[in-house]
Amino acid sequence: MALFLTKKIDKSTFIHVWDITETEDELWNLASVPNDDAEEIKMTNSEARRKERLAELALLNKIFDGKVYLGHHDNGRPYLHNSVMEISISHDSRFVAIITSSREDLGIDIESLDRDFSAVEKKALSEDEIDDIDEDKKHLQLAIYWCAKEALYKRMSIYGVDYAEQIEVRRFSPRPDGNYHDIHATFTFKDGIEMEFDLTYTVFENHVMVWVVG
């Protein structure tokens, strides 16, 4: 089983990352797939996408002793039918990341640094965030900005969020060293009320992962 890492955030909050090294057939054997989900997965044309979904379910089986069943609210936020745990999920073609907590709202995002993040500057950043970009580390910084905003969006679970106007990440210096680094962000509701958040990012295996808890 390709469990890449497990990180304890606090006594009730954990991150698990799965490295998708298995074949699709191997993942079918590792995952507990409800009939409805199985039909949907089989109808997915992309093998990579099918493997992402199966690895997601395989990782849930690894995290929890008994079978758990994944559902999604109308806004896309995942939940477990038979558990009180809060959960957030992110994946790409290589990794699946799941963060769980028994008591906190949370969000996580993981992205490959092979992705083109150039559109993030125009579509998701405020003028202040653009001014804070370090040109020598621009690609990494845009990736961290994007993951942070995605993670916070998942944590808030609100429709119609304007990433540039409502999520402001404070100035930071991007570090690709594989350690864990804190960044800070403000979420502004459309009525002007603000909430402050601490997020954490890490860079590994040419990927960026950012999460928020609380």
Q: What is the pLDDT of residue 66?
A: 66
| pLDDT level of residue 126 (50, 70, 90 thresholds) | very high
177 has a pLDDT exceeding 60: yes
- DSSP-derived secondary structure for the chain: --EEEEEEEETTEEEEEEE--S-HHHHHHHS---HHHHHHHHT-S-HHHHHHHHHHHHHHHHHSSS---EEE-TTS-EEETT---EEEEEE-SSEEEEEEESS--EEEEEEETTS--HHHHHHH--HHHHHT--GGGHHHHHHHHHHHHHHHHHHHT-TT--HHHHEEEPP-----SSS-EEEEEEEE-TTS-EEEEEEEEEEETTEEEEEEE-
pLDDT for residue 75: 83
Please determine, for residue 44, whether its predicted confidence score (pLDDT) is greater than 80. Answer: yes
pLDDT at 38 over 70: yes
**Can you name the CATH fold of 110-213?**
Ribosomal Protein L22; Chain A (3.90.470)
> What is the overall mean pLDDT for the chain?
94
Q: What is the pLDDT of residue 103?
A: 83
- What residue segments make up the domains of the chain, in order of their start? 3-103, 110-213
Q: pLDDT by residue (tens digit) across 49-76?
A: 999 999 999 999 899 876 778 888 888 8
| Same fold yes or no, 3-103 and 110-213 | yes
pLDDT of residue 34: 81
Of 3.30.1300.10, 3.90.470.20, 3.30.10.20, 3.40.1400.10, the CATH number of 3-103 is 3.90.470.20
Residue of 91 and 1 predicted with greater confidence: 91
**In the predicted structure, residue 1 carries a pLDDT above the cut 70:** no
